[in-house]
Chain A
Amino acid sequence: MLKGVHQKLETQQTPAFFVRGTSAFLRMVFFCALSITIMAIDARLNYLSQVRQAFIAALHPLEVAANAPGAWYRDTKKYFSAHNKLVQENYILKQQAFEHQVALQRFNTIQAENEHLRGLLNGNIPNQPKGMLGEISHMGRDPFTHIVVVNRGNQHKIKAGQAVVDSKGVIGQVTRVYPFTSEVTLITDKELSIPIQIERNQLRAIAFGGGNNTLDIPYLPTNVDIKVGDKLVTSGIDGIYPAGLAVATVTKIEQNPESPFAKIISTPVAEVTNHLQLLLLDLPDAKEAEIKLTSETSETKDSELKKENLKLNKTNTQTITKPKTKPKDNANAPH
């Protein structure tokens, strides 16, 4: 590229026929600067998410091709799995379904009773989140990040910020959505936090990802009432994770005399490595609830007592407790 004058001016030791265009050093400097710029743009400005989405969409056929051998293997394995085993499994599943149905009957009556009682006390009824079943397509390309990729994306109306659970407990939160897949950041990621509650004594706290398959609960005094083996469940005050989902079990409590805080380490109960299926819970509609709430409260000003009572029942079925801005903040945080 730079031929003629430039080469003569430079004191070059290499003979001319070895020169291949611009020197490697210059190229390196140029491309390093370019990648640093891209990194800065990607990390701070979020301009490149469109580029990323388009690329991942373009890459989808390649990804399907890469996934194909594994899928074939699984399918053939399924096909050749013994008849006996399937019958046995079917029997066990039927039994389980029966037991669950019995439990559910009680649950339904209790829930109805609870709703009624809350209605009497003019309290808010926590919403029942709906979800979409997804499947883990792979555990992320980089083993040192806490990311799982799920086969549900924009096309299935998945949004960033949705909570993800499996049959045992909370897995994490959707952080990036692509057309056909989405990235779920695990709760063990350092940048993710989750509001929790100790199941035994209802103590509220916030757990942060600690890496290496652990969760930390910082900023609690050394005399806090937490024991090894305590179960942590979601408290539901953030409006993203519905209340009462299992999160983790406390495995270790360290008390350092130099620090006023206890170091509480717990391990998540969800089994990300064992299952493929997981549930992506819908985000609560903060806007809708807000609009309905305001319209209904303005109406109540000039309505009669009878109407008011009717509407109270109505508002009770909506969720009002959610903070309006917090879910968005949380959704953006892990980026």
Chain B
Amino acid sequence: MRHTSLVSVYISLLIALLCQLFPWVGQGIILRPDFMLVVTLYWLLRAPHLCNVGTAWFAGLLVDLATGSLLGQHALSFCFTAYVALSYQRRLVLFNKGQLLAYVLILLLIERVLILLLKLFTGNENPGLAYLLPIISGLLLWQLTIFIFGGITRPKTSTS
């Protein structure tokens, strides 16, 4: 396991929150990825001893407070997604890049569907298929996150 510090986790989460707060105008807002979720998932998969279900829950709560949505709905979906992410975390070493991407896709999908269910329960209208677009942008953001912070697992060629 590579060394990661708790400070870097929290700073990156704060930057993700800042991106989430960034005012998006026009139609582009539909494409906006879920910054907080992607960064949380990254740290969950890379350093579960620093960022666990509790951190994910708190990140979700922050998103709820910042977006003004029903308090707890993002928290719930984040912590459930985090649980699913962690349950396969130890097998990630065996995954290649494509499989990892598919795994993240499934996680993002789970989060979106959970939020949709909660929203439908609380009486929002059906948003249509455009609701799933942030998953695609989320995958792009995932690749960017890996590019910035480094891969999830230790590269096989290095000896350290």
Contact residues of A with B, CB < 8 Å?
18, 20, 24-25, 27-28, 31-32, 34-39, 41-43, 48, 51-52, 55-56, 59, 62-63, 65-67, 69-70, 137-145, 147, 149, 176, 183, 190-191, 211-212, 273
Contact = CB atoms under 8 A, between A and B. Distances in A.
Q: Main SS of the interface on chain A?
A: helix
Given A31-B57, A56-B65, A59-B65, 19 more contacts: A27-B52, A28-B79, A28-B82, A31-B75, A31-B76, A31-B79, A35-B61, A35-B72, A35-B75, A39-B73, A41-B71, A43-B122, A48-B71, A66-B23, A70-B25, A138-B24, A139-B24, A141-B68, A183-B68
B66 A24 contact: no
A38 B79 CA distance: 14
B26 A20 contact: no
B155 interface: no
24 contacts: A24-B52, A27-B53, A27-B54, A31-B76, A34-B72, A35-B60, A38-B71, A39-B71, A39-B72, A39-B118, A42-B70, A52-B71, A62-B21, A65-B18, A69-B22, A138-B24, A138-B25, A141-B20, A141-B66, A141-B69, A144-B131, A183-B68, A190-B124, A191-B123
A39 B125 contact: no
B31 to A, nearest CB: 9
Contacts of A41: 71
Contacts of B76: 31-32, 35-36, 39
B68 A176 contact: yes
Nearest to A38: B72
Contacts of B123: 190-191
A139 B83 contact: no
Q: How large is the interface on B (under 10, 10 to 19, 20 to 34, 35 or more residues)?
A: 35 or more
B29 A139 contact: yes
A139 B30 CA distance: 11
A21 B137 CA distance: 34
A34 B87 CA distance: 21
A76 B72 CA distance: 40
A24 B83 contact: yes
Interface string B97-131: 00000000000000000000011001111010001
